[in-house]
Amino acid sequence: MNITVVGAGAIGGTVGAYLVRAGYSVTFCDTVEAHVAVIRDNGLTIRGWAETFTVHTPACTPAELNGPLELVLLAVKAHHTRAALQIVAPLLSESGYIVSLQNGLNEYTIAEAVGARRTIGCFINFSADYLEPGLIHFGGPGAFKIGELDGVMTPRLKHLHELLSAWGQVDMTDNIWGYLWGKLGYANMLYATALVDASMAEVIDRYRLLMVALATEVYRVADALHITPEPFDGVEPALYYPPETRDWPAIQRSLDALVERRRRDQKTRSGIWRDLAVRRRRTEVDEQLGAVIRQADSLNLPVPLMRRIVQRIHELEDDPGRMSWALVVELETMRQAEEAK
């Protein structure tokens, strides 16, 4: 089976490199021509938390991509999904399928383009950063789940599981949507941490009640959609929602574990912060939190904290120098006002 990684950045590059090292036939495809050129000439280097290695494999730009494509690991930023699918979808073989190694709910967009039967859901929560052409930092391990959109355990899912296990521990699930929504609750927390130039651990630790409120906004929407968010890597949705059943000592222990995990990680700041402060580019906020807001609007559910975060992130996209603890304090003040109603 030929494997094509579309988007050879932090996540796609890391997963693809491990597949190459395991002996699989992999082609990297990326829009950054300098990145493609370095991979072609010198290989792709993964500077990992446990090891550093370089792999050599074909690389191309989207204009150079040829079909038929059998397995596509789609790892572009969420807001580039539709553009990538315009190139990939016509090249996909009849039996080929796409796996979304992305943040958000891109499976809906992929299924719209190529059909649900040619789409497999994926949840990833490991740390990685694109540092420069040909070099990716793999900052630490994390959860990696795959699942058919309808929850059925199919032969192709088992084959994909075997293949992706070259990266490390990968689990199959019959509730991939639960994991994706579980991560969206965490994403609401991480976008808040990106409002200030500080580590994820520091912000989460200092504003614990705010973090719970942010996750709860997402999990309330998921519940209305009859989706059960799944726990992962210290994030435990069932402890946050519903509010009536909260066990605060258990929540504090859970947050202790989450903060400690973030402190151990070599990647101390989120990819969102990096998009704003380092790469000076648009974030995925409209495709992640925006997707939740659109669902909330359809259900007439209020998500005021999330709306304010989206507003502030867009302002920081224009001027990252405005990052400030004051923006986090603003959210905390809103949280207190909402709870006082």
Per-residue pLDDT of 9-37, as tens digits, reads 999 999 999 999 999 999 999 999 999 99
Eight-state DSSP code of residue 21: H
Asked if pLDDT for residue 265 goes beyond 90, the answer is no
What's the pLDDT band for 300 if we cut at 50, 70, 90? very high
Domain boundaries, the chain: 2-174, 178-340
| Per-residue pLDDT reduced to its tens digit, 78-133 | 999 999 999 999 999 999 999 999 999 999 999 999 999 999 999 999 989 999 99
Among 13-27, 233-247, 295-309, name the one with the lowest average pLDDT. 233-247
% of the chain residues with pLDDT over 90: 94
2-174 to CATH, choices 1.10.268.10, 3.10.105.10, 3.40.50.620, 3.40.50.720: 3.40.50.720
Asked if pLDDT for residue 267 goes beyond 90, the answer is no
Residue 340, pLDDT score: 87
Rounded Cα–Cα distance for residues 80 and 66 (Å): 19
Rounded Cα–Cα distance for residues 29 and 288 (Å): 24
Residue 162, pLDDT score: 97
What's the pLDDT band for 205 if we cut at 50, 70, 90? very high
What's the pLDDT band for 333 if we cut at 50, 70, 90? very high
Would you list the DSSP string of 106-166?
Answer: HHHHHHHHH-GGGEEEEEE--EEEEEETTEEEEEE---EEEEETT----HHHHHHHHHHTT
The residues pairing with 74 across neighbouring beta strands, listed in sequence order, are: 6, 100
In this prediction, residues 282-299 reach a mean pLDDT of: 96
Type of residue at 26: V
Residue 153, pLDDT score: 97
Q: Tell me if 2-174 shares its fold with 178-340.
A: no
CATH number of 178-340: 1.10.1040.10
| Per-residue pLDDT reduced to its tens digit, 209-229 | 999 999 999 999 999 999 999
Count of positions (residues) in the chain: 341
Question: CB neighbours of 233 closer than 8 A, spacing ≥ 6?
Answer: 125, 142, 143, 258, 261
Asked if pLDDT for residue 140 goes beyond 90, the answer is no
Mean pLDDT of all residues in the chain? 96
In this prediction, residues 247-273 reach a mean pLDDT of: 92
**pTM, two decimal places:** 0.94
Type of residue at 254: S
Would you list the DSSP string of 278-325?
Answer: TS----SHHHHHHHHHHHHHHTT---HHHHHHHHHHHHHHH-GGG--H
Burial of 132 (0-12, 13-18, 19+ CB in 10 A): exposed
Rounded Cα–Cα distance for residues 174 and 182 (Å): 14
